[in-house]
Structure 1
Amino acid sequence: MTDPLFRDDAYLRSADANVTRLTDEGGIVLDQTVFYPTGGGQPGDSGILTWDGGQIEIATTIKGEGQEIILVPGEPSKLPAIGTVVHQKLDWERRHHHMRVHTALHLLSVVVPLPVTGGSIGEQKGRLDFDMEDAPGNKQDIEDTLNGLIARDLIVSTQWISDEDLDANPGLVKTMSVKPPRGTGRVRLVRIGDTSEQVDLQPCGGTHVRSTSEIGSVRIGKVEKKGRQNRRINLHLD
């Protein structure tokens, strides 16, 4: 099991850890990590591992079996031995861009209150696919409303509920294609706005900014037709 330090503190940029396993493919498993693994449309983190006498670049991070998180080197190189203490350092600028885009997409799902059929997060842009038969009437209205929410500087926070509580409240799940992360008996919710001015609450295991103003202004790009009842709305960071 890998302790996902990013889950409690998405702003933690570095940490020491112990190597617990090396995969047959050359991946590195640590007892704890600041690196987020690919999932929920968010790319895996990259960065650098250093240890006494060695260094290796991490190109991406993926989920392993059970609760393991695997750091994937960019190219074959000498790996730290099991039991080695390593220092992990995120490519913070890349991660922070992912956080900004991810939180902006949560707000987009508020502005366009339809079931989400897919999504993707990049450094400068992201997109959501909606169960939407007709194209939205005015793209500019979506952009203006979205930037209005961002400018309100809403607090972004998390809480945990049990699997049973989620099953009793299926309306919390907006995504049709991505299931909420389960397996530990509880599910993490991301809330935008405090309890007095909450604008969104949905299951999510990804990393987010602390407040919406940190996103900065965004621009709505192409609205594409992806099937008979599927529209893709692209979002760009300004």
Structure 2
Amino acid sequence: MNFHNLRTSDLFDDAPYMREFSANVLAATETALALDRTCFYPQGGGQPGDTGQIVAADRVLKVTNTYRDRDNPALIWHDCEPGPDGLLRGESVQGVIDWERRYGHMRMHTCLHLLCSLIDAPVTGCSIAADKGRLDFDLPEMTLDKDEISRRLNELIEVDHPVRRVRATENLEQVMRLTRTKLVEAPVRDGKINLVQIADVDLQPCGGTHVASSREIGRVVCAKIEKKSRHNRRVSVRFT
């Protein structure tokens, strides 16, 4: 089947706190289901794809991963167990995300933006989990201190900075230069770039989901700083 003309509406962009939604089936394979809209976040930018359930009239499907179609990024797939074979296009379903896992991702993703604001170096890698995360920085010298990073991160969190999404529709090339991650391009969708702004602390192009206030992150600790290569320092943080 040709999936190039299909499109999933991204509910998580405007409603990251949405936990349940209704949708219609767009397409199904032996293992995955595409819907006309979803609040399941598709893996990308270091943030894992959401998990949860899709409830149809005659069955409940466990969603084990969510991702964008490789050839058509406008289409989002949900890996399902058991497979969605037999679900017809246009059939109504209900989606329920694993909220505790997603909320952990939102808190940690926002925390990593704050970490990025503290270290003046390009980011070469990122990984986010529900209880921890890490950023890799292009730093030739070991100039980082765990205790200092922990202290400064928690100070930023406690200030209760507002976090908001900004959509850039003009000067996109200039906006893309704000991207700190060297190997990842800014997320461009429908001629606009989504940015995440944390008060006057940080402004970054980002397509992930985030909390509305830095205080929602909770207390964190810089657990480890590693030298991964001559120009690579890995900074790992976790919730306390």
Length-normalised TM-score, structure 2: 0.93
1:110 is aligned with what amino acid? S
Residue equivalent to 2:226: 224
Deviations for 1:97-133, whole angstroms, at most 9, x for unmatched residues? 0001100000000111211111000111000000111
Quick one: distance in 2 between partners of 1:137 and 1:190? 25
1:232 is aligned with what amino acid? R
Give the number of aligned pairs: 232
User: What pairs with 1:72-87 in structure 2 (closer than 5 Å)?
Assistant: 72-76=79-83, 78-87=85-94
Contact 1:36 1:45 survives alignment (8 Å):
yes
Residues 14 and 79 of structure 1: is their aligned pair in 2 closer, same or farther, counting only changes over 3 Å? farther
Deviating above 6 A after TM superposition, structure 1's stretches of 4 or more consecutive aligned residues are: none
Quick one: distance in 2 between partners of 1:6 and 1:77? 23
Quick one: distance in 1 between partners of 2:73 and 2:44? 14
1:236 pairs with one of 231, 235, 238: 238
2:146 is aligned with what amino acid? K
1:93 pairs with one of 88, 100, 106: 100
Quick one: distance in 2 between partners of 1:60 and 1:154? 31
Residue 14 of structure 1, CA deviation: 0.5
Quick one: distance in 1 between partners of 2:150 and 2:15? 30
Residue equivalent to 2:194: 188
Residue equivalent to 1:27: 32
Residue equivalent to 1:114: 121
| Residues 47-56 or 72-81, more deviating | 72-81
Contact 1:166 1:172 survives alignment (8 Å):
no
Quick one: distance in 2 between partners of 1:79 and 1:156? 42
Residue 78 of structure 1, CA deviation: 4.7
Residue 224 of structure 1, CA deviation: 0.9
User: What pairs with 1:49-60 in structure 2 (closer than 5 Å)?
Assistant: 49-60=54-65
Deviations for 1:162-218, whole angstroms, at most 9, x for unmatched residues? 2x513124541111011111242110010001xxxx111010000000100000000
Deviations for 1:10-65, whole angstroms, at most 9, x for unmatched residues? 00000000001113x52100000010001000000000011212111000101012
2:16 pairs with one of 10, 16, 22: 10
1:40 is aligned with what amino acid? G
1:44 pairs with one of 35, 49, 55: 49
| Residues 176-185 or 209-218, more deviating | 176-185
Quick one: distance in 1 between partners of 2:56 and 2:66? 19
1:150 aligns with 2:157: yes
Contact 1:29 1:71 survives alignment (8 Å):
yes
Residues 53 and 102 of structure 1: is their aligned pair in 2 closer, same or farther, counting only changes over 3 Å? same
Quick one: distance in 1 between partners of 2:14 and 2:54? 21
Quick one: distance in 1 between partners of 2:174 and 2:160? 31
* Structure 1 unmatched runs, 5+: none
